[in-house]
Amino acid sequence: MHLLIVEDDEDTAAYMRKGLMEAGYTVDHAANGRDGLFMATSGSFDAIVLDRMLPGLDGLAVVQAMRAANISTPVLILSALGQVDDRVKGLRAGGDDYLSKPFAFSELHARIEALLRRRDVQSVETKLTVGDLELDLLSRKVKRGDRLIDLQPRELRLLEYLMRHAGQVVTRTMLLEGVWDYHFDPQTNVIDVHISRLRQKLDKGFDKPLLHTMRGAGYSIRAG
Amino acid sequence: MAVPRALPGFLRSSTFRLSVFYVALFFLSVGALLAFIYVQAIATIDTQTEQATKADAAALVQEYTAQGIAGLIDAVEDRIAPDRAGDGLYLLEDDEGAPLAANVQTWPTAEPNPGGWVSFNVDREDGPHQARGLTYALKDGSKLLVARDLHARLDFQELMVDALYYALALTVVLGVGGGLLISRRMLNRLDAINRAAERIRTGDLSHRIGTTGSHDEFDRLSETLNAMLEEIHRLMNGMRTVTDNIAHDLRSPLTRMKGRLEMLLREPADTDAQRVAIERTIADADQLLTTFTALLSIADAQSGSARATMAPLDLDELAGDIVDLYEPAAEERGIAIGHEEGQGSVMGSRQLLFQALVNLVDNAIKNTPAGGTIQVAVRRQAGAVHFVVADSGPGIPETERDRVLEPFVRLDSSRSTPGSGLGLALVAAIARLHGARIELGDNAPGLVVSLIFPVVA
């Protein structure tokens, strides 16, 4: 997977680059908006991480120019401006996701994974499967092995989000955004309690747990 | 306002009240003027009548002195001849009271005044008239009355009274009509300014008040207000730039710091103590960022820029979401959180209002002991929508309730629990942004926080 980082701050760029390369990505870097746009239009990247405030050409202008040139590479906008309308502006300009600075690397990583996955999954599914866990999207029924698992509507939505991102790390803010559609950093353990309830229903009585806690990052549902 | 609301706007306006006052004043001055004219004219008429009567009488007495009674009779007969009959009234009686020459039938019964004048009524073709005249006792025992019919004076009186009525009626009609017209015109101009100001107040900061180009007082007022708005806009932009720069310049080093620490954490640590130190430093950096983010959010809410993203919002749905999100966390602490369903829609920012709610419910959970309850409700009350979070915790003493809405204020009782002391200040700022009041009350026991939104028609 080939990523482009457009970030003027050397240290932040180096830190992201190092982390992402360790995670197995090929990473290119542009230090200003003009170079970023040039590279985005010529190279074939799988995703772009774009800083909002850039010298030369502003981040929003870069996305707009990209979208105008029919380049649909997923873009994650990074910004030190974390206010409500900044986020709206970023997504309206053509960004696919928005992450406020400062962020934990795990958050960035999880969101890039989600962006890359979003591109793969285009077909309409009626059933999600992870190991012996099955979620029927039409009847809204959940089965593990032969056992029917009774879930509340909210637990079902939570499970659906996790299963759609099966094998990936899903952060707390991603869950809050994906399941409840609210964008802020939950400082308290509200999300963790939801997960532990869900885990009770999914994994209790089974040898192999499916819902894993990724320390310092978030959660992941996977068979192995 | 004491004036009933049913009155149309222009009747309640100060311009209209002012014009009514001026109509009354004008009314009085016209009345006074007419009264003065009336008194003066009557006095002139009276004087003229008196002089004419006197001159006439003097001529007749002279006739008598020169020609005797026969000459006088001729003179009187001459004056009362039908073709000459005017306002003159005469009665000449002999010493027995028999009329010698007359167009008045009976001698006046009233006593003459010290000047010799006597007032009486006389029957004329069109009814009784008032008359006034002089009486003379002649040497041969006969008596002469020379008087004037006063109908001219009475006619004039009537004319004056009629004129007074017409003038007053016209004054009222013109005054009230003119007042209405002027007040409506003024009100339209003022309304335009009001509407523009309201639009600006609710977030459209680039809007300006229109001018008519007439350079009158209203145009000057509009220009002054526009200049003021320009200044406010500039200052707010300045504020925004400063906070944006602070956000960028402080967050970037913090991001780097956190990044480096996290990278360090991924390397194999030399000792456990180092690992713990790094973890604690990251936690401190996070705490710093939390406070910092809350401060920026407060500044952002205060700047009103989020008004641009406001949309009609169902508060009950928000209440349902917050209860849904916090129900497991509350249950884990042995607290029952409930949603009392209601109805209420406002124009608002979904994200910001939810953030306000998160702060309120977080506080409630922190302060409510196990076994307690938290209620989230939307109620319509007295033309407002109340968004209520009530808990059964220790509550806040009445004297402290205003204080806790200020930034960084933490009550002694909550010093031991984590938090920045910015939560309620952020809630207050978000409430203000939405034109809502925040009210802290007693839930007996517990705290009840209400965000009170005005209902938009």
pLDDT of residue A122: 55
Say yes or no to pLDDT of B242 above 60. Answer: yes
* Mean model confidence pLDDT for chain B: 83
The complex's ipTM works out to 0.84
Mean pLDDT across B409-427: 68
pLDDT of the residue at B247: 67
pLDDT given for residue B112 in this prediction: 81
Nearest CB neighbour to A12, from listed B256, B309, B362: B256
Flag if A102 and B325 touch (Cβ within 8 Å).
no
- The series of mean pLDDT values per 10 residues for chain A, 224 residues long, is 92 89 93 92 89 88 92 90 75 90 86 83 77 90 91 92 91 91 82 93 90 89 86
pLDDT at residue B277 is higher than 80 = yes
Read off the pLDDT of each residue in B177-187 and give the average, rounded to a whole number.
82
* End-to-end CA gap in chain A: 23
Q: What would the mean pLDDT of B14-30 be, rounded to a whole number?
A: 80
Please give the pLDDT value at position B203: 66
Higher-scoring residue by pLDDT: B296, B93: B93
Give residue B451's pLDDT.
93
Flag whether pLDDT at B3 surpasses 50: no
A53 and A80 Cβ atoms separated by less than 8 Å: yes
Shortest CA distance from A80: residue in chain B: B248
A82–chain B nearest CA distance, Å: 8
pLDDT at position A37 is 92
Long-range pairs for B178-186: beta carbons < 8 A, 24 or more residues apart: B178/B19, B179/B15, B179/B16, B179/B18, B179/B19, B179/B20, B179/B22, B179/B23, B180/B10, B180/B16, B180/B19, B182/B15, B182/B19, B183/B10, B183/B13, B183/B15, B183/B16, B183/B18, B183/B19, B184/B10, B186/B13, B186/B15
CB contact under 8 A, B328 and A16: no
Measure Cα distances from A140 to A82, A148, A151, A156, B320 in Å. 36, 11, 9, 8, 21
**The pLDDT of residue A96:** 92
Q: How many Cα atoms occupy the beta-carbon half-sphere of B49 within 13 Å?
A: 26
Q: Looking at residue A81, what is its pLDDT? A: 67
pLDDT given for residue B418 in this prediction: 54
Eight-state DSSP code of residue A98 = E
| Residue scoring higher pLDDT (B409 or B286) | B286
Q: Using CA atoms, how far apart are residues B273 and B280, in angstroms rounded to an integer? A: 10
Highest mean pLDDT among A173-182, B123-132, B190-199, B265-274: A173-182
Between chain A and chain B, the number of residue pairs with CB atoms below 8 A apart is: 94
**pLDDT at site B131:** 87
Question: In Å, how far is A84's CA from the nearest CA of chain B?
Answer: 7
**Closest among B134, B93, B92 to B112, alpha carbons compared:** B134
Find the range with the poorest average confidence among A199-213, B216-230, B382-396, B416-430. Answer: B416-430
Distance of alpha carbon B273 from alpha carbon B279, whole angstroms: 10
B42 Cβ contact list (under 8 Å, min separation 6) = B153, B156, B157
Say whether B306 and A19 touch across the interface (CB within 8 A).
no
More confident residue, B31 or A172: A172
**pLDDT for B411:** 66
Cβ-based interface (< 8 Å): residues of B facing A: 244, 247-248, 251-252, 254-256, 258-260, 262-263, 266, 285, 289-290, 293, 296-297, 300, 305-306, 308-309, 321, 324-326, 328-329, 331-332, 349-352, 354-355, 358, 362, 365
pLDDT at B361 over 90: yes
* Contact list, B351 vs chain A (CB under 8 Å): 84, 182-184
SS (H, E, C) B266-309: HCCCCCHHHHHHHHHHHHHHHHHHHHHHHHHHHHHHHHCHHHHH
Predicted confidence at residue B2, as pLDDT, reads 45
B114: Cβ contacts below 8 Å, ≥ 6 apart = none
Q: How far is CA B261 from CA A99, A112, A187, A201, B269, in A?
A: 20, 21, 20, 37, 12
Provide the pLDDT for residue A187. 72
* Phi, psi dihedrals of residue A136, rounded to the nearest 5°: -85, 115
Give the integer Cα–Cα distance in Å for A8 and A4: 13
* pLDDT of the residue at B4: 45
Q: Give B420's pLDDT tier (boundaries 50, 70, 90).
A: low
**How confident is the model at residue B105, as a pLDDT?**
79
User: What residues in A contact B248, CB-CB < 8 Å?
Assistant: 53, 80-81
The pTM is what? Answer: 0.64
d(CA B245, CA B237): 12
What pLDDT score was predicted for residue B330?
93
Q: Identify the pLDDT of residue B414.
A: 56
* pLDDT surpassing 90 at residue B116: no
- Residue A116: helix, strand or coil by DSSP? helix
Closest CA to A2 of A61, A42, A55, A56: A42
pLDDT of B290 above 50: yes
Q: Which residue of B has its CA nearest to A192?
A: B329
Please check the confidence at residue B235 and state whether its pLDDT lies above 90. no
pLDDT at B323 over 90: yes
- Ordered strands of the B447-454 beta sheet: B336-340, B373-381, B384-391, B447-454, B437-442
